[in-house]
Amino acid sequence: MSQQVGVVTFPGSNGDHDAWNAFANDLGVPTRMVDYRETDLDGIAVVVVPGGFSYGDYLRCGAIARFAPVMNAVREFAQRGGPVLGICNGFQVLTEAHLLPGALLRNESLRFHCDWIHVKVENRSFWTSDVEVGDILRLPIAHGDGSYFADDETIARLESNGQVIFRYCDANGAVLDNANPNGSRRAIAGIANEGRNVVGLMPHPERATDPLVGGADGRRIVTAALSALQVAV
Closest CA to 127 of 87, 169, 80: 87
Active-site pick, 38, 96, 122, 206: 206
User: Could you confirm whether 206 is annotated as catalytic?
Assistant: yes
* 168 in Cβ contact with 15 (< 8 Å): no
Q: Dihedral (C-alpha) 104, 71, 195, 162: value to the nearest 10 degrees?
A: -10
If one asks whether residue 25 binds other proteins (CB under 8 A), the answer comes out as yes
Nearer to other proteins, 70 or 158 (CB): 70
DSSP reduced 3-state for 130: coil
User: Could you confirm whether 88 is annotated as catalytic?
Assistant: yes
Nearer to other proteins, 110 or 233 (CB): 110
Minimum distance between the CB of residue 2 and other proteins, rounded to whole angstroms? 26
Per DSSP, 210 falls in state B
Minimum distance between the CB of residue 6 and other proteins, rounded to whole angstroms? 18
- Number of C-beta neighbours around residue 101 at 10 A: 18
- Which range of residues in 18-26, 79-87, 125-133, 225-233 is near other proteins by CB under 8 A? 18-26
> By CB under 8 A, what part of segment 48-77 binds other proteins?
51-53, 55-58
- Which range of residues in 79-87, 91-99, 120-128, 207-215 is near other proteins by CB under 8 A? 207-215
DSSP reduced 3-state for 115: strand
- Which range of residues in 17-25, 39-47, 127-135, 168-176 is near other proteins by CB under 8 A? 17-25
Closest CA to 153 of 175, 178, 185: 185
Closest CA to 114 of 202, 35, 49, 183: 202
Rounded to whole angstroms, the Cα distance separating 212 from 162 reads 34
The residues annotated with a catalytic role in the active site are 88, 204, 206
Binding residues for other proteins (CB under 8 A): 11-12, 14-15, 17-18, 21-22, 25, 51-53, 55-58, 111-116, 140, 142, 144, 204, 206-207, 209-210, 212-214
